[in-house]
Structure 1
Amino acid sequence: MRSFTPRTRLATVSALTALGAFASLGTATAADPALNGEWAPFTRCPVDAPAMLAADGFEKTPQCVVSTSAGGSVKLGDTTVVTGKTSLQIGIVQNADGTSSVVAPPGGALVAEPATVPGGLLGLMCPSAIPVITGLCESLENSSLNKITATMESVGAPYDFDQTAGVLTDMPIVALPVRIHLENPLLGSKCYIGTAANPIVLLPENRNYPDFAMTFFQGDGTLDPAGEMSRIDLTGATQNDSTFAVPAATGCGLNIGLINAAVNAKTGLPSPSGNNSLTLNDTRTHLTGLNAPGTAAPRAGEVLAEHWHSAVR
């Protein structure tokens, strides 16, 4: 008989549905290891993080979550950007009191293909009433320097994770502070919308219920109905947030801030809550953990890490 209690089931499904909402955000990391069998999606699970290793299996239960999306869109002020393939990977520590905490991998939780901003710099800041920017706009026409990409990055740990909201619709599930990195040679390397001190805070909500499936496997990833590990798969959910505010762009181009002003004026930044949105289509989310973490106590976190490492090919 599987030790998969109602509290654990609620916690795992909550984590899955919630975290699918962040799948379109992120920055690229180094190549990830290949993992065997049912472990395959969990290439960046932070199993060696102190908080995960310290999970005893009674008061604290460690789990791995990965969520991906084929695409979606994000609207910031007057600009809408179509997102590409993306992936989120995190650890979850479920607490006995029903709360939970998020543990990010060392390289950051969010990974995504950079999105191309429609119209490039011409679309982002032209035309402009600022003479210097007007001249720049004229020089950009038909120029390879016009292309600009935007990538969302985490700027703090997620918080306010709500397990109940994860299995319902139209309720905020978790708060995720992010910033958007705008990249182009003329913008410099420090052009951001949002900062660590003043981030964009996403509050995703489920818009529909995903399809549910579950498998069991051995510690090394081999499928086995009697295995000590379980994996939940939730697929097909659409998620959205239209409550977040967006601050002004900073650090763009010239030290005197002229490009900041042009970008903000054309894009409509800062933009208040209700004028922005994030939509993710066809999210595919997976969660794995020990079936009976109590039997591994007080080493549940260490056992999970050992299983993960045994699956690395």
Structure 2
Amino acid sequence: MRTSNRVRVGLLASFTALAAVASIGSATAATQLNGDWAPFSRCPVDDPAMLAADGATDIAICVTSHSASGSIKLGNTVVPVGASDLQIGVVNHPGAVSTVVSPKGGALVADSAKVPGGLLGLMCPSDVPVITGICNTLTDVKLNRVTATIESVNTPTGFQLLAGATTGKPIITLPVRIHLENPLLGDKCYIGSSSDPILLKPQNLTQPAVTSENFAGDGTPDPNGPMSRLSLQGATQTDTTYAVPGTNGCGLLGSLNWAVNLKTGLPSAAGKNSVTLDNAQTDVAAMSAPGDIAPNAGKVMSQYWHSAVR
């Protein structure tokens, strides 16, 4: 089967675009899929918007991107990024317009990473008596250890299909917050929130290497299969445009928000923060010729996905 030009352009651009944000979220999905479907374990194929994609005017694709590590600068503090897995569905519409669909549980899943210096690094030294007293107790490794986890909040927006095929242009807006965990900070300490998230707008610094292949509906490699998979590897991306809000929920009734904000330089205006994403591994899956099975392309792709479940 031949892949239409519009589908090829859409896949390539979508692929490159999501490589930009891939380095911020981890593969912990319960679903295991066969063959070429394996990376797409959280693709929201059963979302009404994906099922409604007819294959003629609206084309549904699955996107996943993985990175083993990265870093993000927030004010005065550099926070490491754990292994990450970003998965979304995208419905491409005529006129280079697209709708992003998040899977249940959020687009981004990330492993936790240790914050260098722990709580000593986030709050100490300090001349404020209360904080100085806390700092003096932090010789205990468990009390000092702080982990940071980047979490997806809300649905990504502003997906720009063509921006993914070039460099230097924002590709997608990914709203996130950072969960700081420590016995003294409590379990509800965040940088950013659902109502005031960090809005990452990554762009490509380098172009990834591209490979492609077709596969059968159940994921088995098949040069004449009805599904296509593009793989992009080795991309480097960045964003220096985002602002970072202050912390919330740190300590009893938020009593330590100000201490963390003061030491880390939060809130931090746009231009004072940065994210670097290295060696993103990204995959995109779509019907090879969705127009051939219109208006049921979205439904058929969902059936294929489920047939690959191991």
Interval containing the TM-score (normalised by the shorter chain): over 0.9
User: Following TM superposition, by how much is the alpha carbon of 1:4 offset from its aligned partner in structure 2, in angstroms?
Assistant: 2.5
What amino acid sits opposite 2:7 in the alignment?
T
User: Following TM superposition, by how much is the alpha carbon of 1:25 offset from its aligned partner in structure 2, in angstroms?
Assistant: 2.6
1:162 to 147, 160, 163: 160
Counterpart CA distance in 1 for 2:258 and 2:240 is: 25
Counterpart CA distance in 2 for 1:126 and 1:64 is: 45
2:304 to 270, 294, 307: 307
User: Following TM superposition, by how much is the alpha carbon of 1:227 offset from its aligned partner in structure 2, in angstroms?
Assistant: 0.7
SS at 1:65 equivalent: strand
Show CA shifts across 1:259-282 (max 9, x none).
Answer: 111100000101111111111110
SS at 2:11 equivalent: helix
2:205 to 191, 204, 207: 207
User: Following TM superposition, by how much is the alpha carbon of 1:141 offset from its aligned partner in structure 2, in angstroms?
Assistant: 1.9
Show CA shifts across 1:35-94 (max 9, x none).
Answer: 111111111111111111111111211111110112111111111122232111111111
SS at 1:278 equivalent: strand
What's the counterpart of residue 289 of structure 1? 286
Counterpart CA distance in 2 for 1:205 and 1:142 is: 41
Provide closer, same or farther for how the CA distance between residues 304 and 28 of structure 1 changes in structure 2, counting only shifts above 3 A. closer
Counterpart CA distance in 1 for 2:302 and 2:77 is: 43
SS at 1:269 equivalent: coil
Counterpart CA distance in 2 for 1:70 and 1:171 is: 24
Provide closer, same or farther for how the CA distance between residues 143 and 284 of structure 1 changes in structure 2, counting only shifts above 3 A. closer
What amino acid sits opposite 1:13 in the alignment?
L
1:99 to 82, 93, 97: 97
Show CA shifts across 1:117-145 (max 9, x none).
Answer: 11111111111232111101101123311
What's the counterpart of residue 190 of structure 1? 188
What amino acid sits opposite 1:261 in the alignment?
W
User: Following TM superposition, by how much is the alpha carbon of 1:250 offset from its aligned partner in structure 2, in angstroms?
Assistant: 1.1
User: Following TM superposition, by how much is the alpha carbon of 1:3 offset from its aligned partner in structure 2, in angstroms?
Assistant: 2.7
| TM-score normalised over the length of structure 2 | 0.96
What amino acid sits opposite 2:4 in the alignment?
F
Equivalent pair of 1:124/1:266 in contact (CA under 8 Å): yes
User: Following TM superposition, by how much is the alpha carbon of 1:286 offset from its aligned partner in structure 2, in angstroms?
Assistant: 0.3
Q: Give 1:260-299 correspondences, 5 Å limit.
A: 260-299=257-296
What amino acid sits opposite 1:11 in the alignment?
G
Q: Give 1:1-313 correspondences, 5 Å limit.
A: 1-5=1-5, 7-26=6-25, 31-255=29-253, 257-313=254-310
Equivalent pair of 2:169/2:203 in contact (CA under 8 Å): yes
Equivalent pair of 1:133/1:258 in contact (CA under 8 Å): no
What amino acid sits opposite 2:24 in the alignment?
L
Equivalent pair of 2:25/2:83 in contact (CA under 8 Å): no
What amino acid sits opposite 1:74 in the alignment?
I
Equivalent pair of 1:126/1:137 in contact (CA under 8 Å): yes
Q: Which runs of 5+ in 1 are unaligned?
A: none
Counterpart CA distance in 1 for 2:210 and 2:266 is: 40
Counterpart CA distance in 1 for 2:274 and 2:197 is: 15
Provide closer, same or farther for how the CA distance between residues 266 and 27 of structure 1 changes in structure 2, counting only shifts above 3 A. farther
Equivalent pair of 1:27/1:151 in contact (CA under 8 Å): no
User: Following TM superposition, by how much is the alpha carbon of 1:27 offset from its aligned partner in structure 2, in angstroms?
Assistant: 7.1
Equivalent pair of 1:166/1:206 in contact (CA under 8 Å): yes
User: Following TM superposition, by how much is the alpha carbon of 1:18 offset from its aligned partner in structure 2, in angstroms?
Assistant: 1.6
How many residue pairs get aligned? The number is: 310
User: Following TM superposition, by how much is the alpha carbon of 1:28 offset from its aligned partner in structure 2, in angstroms?
Assistant: 7.5
State the identity %.
57
Equivalent pair of 1:59/1:96 in contact (CA under 8 Å): yes
Show CA shifts across 1:200-237 (max 9, x none).
Answer: 11110000111011101110111111111110011110
Superposition RMSD in Å: 1.4
SS at 2:72 equivalent: strand
| TM-score normalised over the length of structure 1 | 0.96
